[in-house]
Structure 1
Amino acid sequence: MADDAVLVTADGPVRVLTLNRPDSLNAFDTELHHALPRVLAGLSLDREARAVVLTGAGRAFSAGGDLETFERHANDLEERRQTLRIGRRLFDELVGLHLPVVAAVNGPAVGLGATLVTACDMVFIAEHAFLADPHVTVALVAGDGAAATWPLHVSLLRAKEFLLTGDRVPAATAVELGLANRVVPAESLMPEALAFAHRLAALPPQAVQDTKAVLNQWVRQAAVSVLGYGLAAESQSHDTAEFRAVPEAFRARSARKP
């Protein structure tokens, strides 16, 4: 189950999954996009595992989409469709995993990164971290799962506010709104997330796992209603002039930096 893009380590009955693209703030390049659903699926065969902690290497949890893929997705319909299929599989694997997943949000969780956080079962977030889903600001429909998960946590009106603007949600606000459970100092993040995961791991496994499954019926129901439409609409975004202008705008902005 080892994978360079996702590191898997064991802490007794707890499995720690670390998104391992620190140089790009754990943005989802092709390898990471394929690796995470594969690793999640592999956990279904791990009879000794009882809980999971999901975190990111380096300064970020995940910066979401990889800018390097923007032009390819605009010009290669088959690659775009394949990526969106994998995105659907990633969401389904995370929501459908029988083990409880504790997110340890060690830094920014943006776009797909924020969607992953909101699909976990318990969220610890470092004081300096934030969540944001800026799909709309780069001319994309927020279709990769946020439209399913955010309204379940914060209300439909607040979900609209953040998904239509891409505004950041600081850690304390995330807890206040219901997007995270606890804010902790950065140095305490992993110890506290691991301690909670071990607490879950010590409980009767069938009771924990099937309670998660029952609760996640709400998420599955939302996903059935909106995720297919959302991904189709996000795919269509790649054909707009506004989206096609994004890579050049980012390059121009980078060139202006000292």
Structure 2
Amino acid sequence: MMTDLPRGTSELTGCDEILVAADGPVRIVTLNNPDNANAVNNTMHTAFTRLWASLAEDPDARAVLITGTGDYFSAGGNLVEWLETHVNNPVTRRAGMRDARRIVRDMIDFPLPVVAAVNGPAVGFGCSIAVLCDIVLISDRAFFADTHVASGLVAGDGGSVLWPLLMSLIKAKEYLMLGERIKAEKAVELGLANRVVPHAEIKQEGLAVAHRLAALPPRAVQDTKRTLNLHAQRAITGILEYGISAETECFTTPEHRAAIDKFLNR
């Protein structure tokens, strides 16, 4: 059975769906919406915009581990809330997409090394968050999927920005446009994850890797990350802005509304 990590609290984020715990110099971030497969609701999405700046200000933190409660990493967005805030309300739609830009930029700019322990399905937003991390361990029961296009949306944020840096452009087109599941071994082969870990060991292995990073000379590891992430910085210039803007324009299309209705009526 998988050993649980310290549960953490919502004190840092003000959101019960994102818990933060300390394990020495490692900060453990847990996506915590287990009744909905750790799907991202609006409160959780907004809390992500505060999370990375707050962690960067922690003088004792040296590395971060991010994982999900139970056997899911994150099943993506909460479509019931999505319908009200992104489809039906232009004010909250703009705010949500502004937050989406900020989350991508903040994760790329975040100075500490971040390890993802992908303990289950990582879909949509969950997939983007995982791949924005620095080292990605994936459970042998997990998979990635970016389902934006299938739901009538432009794949505007994490996938379109980073996937072409991690795999071939033609492969990125295939998986982003078709939205097919990428099983754990295939994710490693493509470059979306570093290695597959047995499901029962994924969280503890992620914590061990985070502690290895935390033990390195902090200036050296942080500036190495910063140097490498300059490639990602260059990628998001123009690409992220266009992708988010194009995605925003899709929210009121009949195709997107039909995809939501089909999901909600299942």
TM-score range, shorter chain: over 0.9
Note if contact 1:100-1:209 (Cα within 8 Å) is conserved in structure 2.
yes
Q: 1:63 matched to which residue of 2?
A: 75
The answer to whether the 8 A contact 1:37-1:94 is kept is no
Is 1:16 aligned with 2:33? no
Amino acid at match of 1:80: R
Matched, 1:120 2:140: no
Partners of 1:81 and 1:50 lie apart in 2 by 34
Alignment root-mean-square deviation, CA: 1.1
SS in 2 for 1:216: helix
Give the alignment partner of residue 42 of structure 1, picking from 54, 70, 82.
54
How many percent identity over aligned positions? 51
Structure 1 moving runs of 4+ over 3 Å? none
| Alignment partner of 1:232 is 2:242 | no
In the alignment, which residue of structure 2 is the partner of 1:256? Answer: none
The one-letter amino acid of 2:198's match is P
TM-score (norm 1): 0.95
What corresponds to 2:4 in structure 1?
Answer: none
Q: Distance in 1 between matches of 2:211 and 2:51?
A: 20
Which of residues 91, 106, 113 in structure 2 aligns to 1:78?
A: 91
C-alpha displacement of 1:145: 2.1
Aligned residues: 253
| Matching residue of 1:26 | 38
Specify which of 171, 180, 201 is matched with residue 167 of structure 1. 180
Equivalent of 1:142 in 125, 139, 155: 155
Q: Is 1:248 aligned with 2:261?
A: yes
TM-score by length of 2: 0.92
- Hey, what's the Cα distance between the residues in 2 that align with 1:167 and 1:64? 15
Residue range with higher mean Cα deviation, 155-164 or 20-29 = 20-29
> Is residue 2:25 matched to residue 1:6?
no
Corresponding position of 2:9? none
The answer to whether residue 223 in structure 2 is matched with residue 223 in structure 1 is: no
Cα distance between partner residues in 2 of 1:2 and 1:92: 18
After superposition, the Cα gap between the structure-2 partners of 1:2 and 1:115, relative to the gap in structure 1 and judged at 3 Å, is: closer
Residue 92 (structure 1) aligned with residue 99 (structure 2): no
Tell me, in whole angstroms, the C-alpha distance in 2 between the residues paired with 1:212 and 1:2.
25
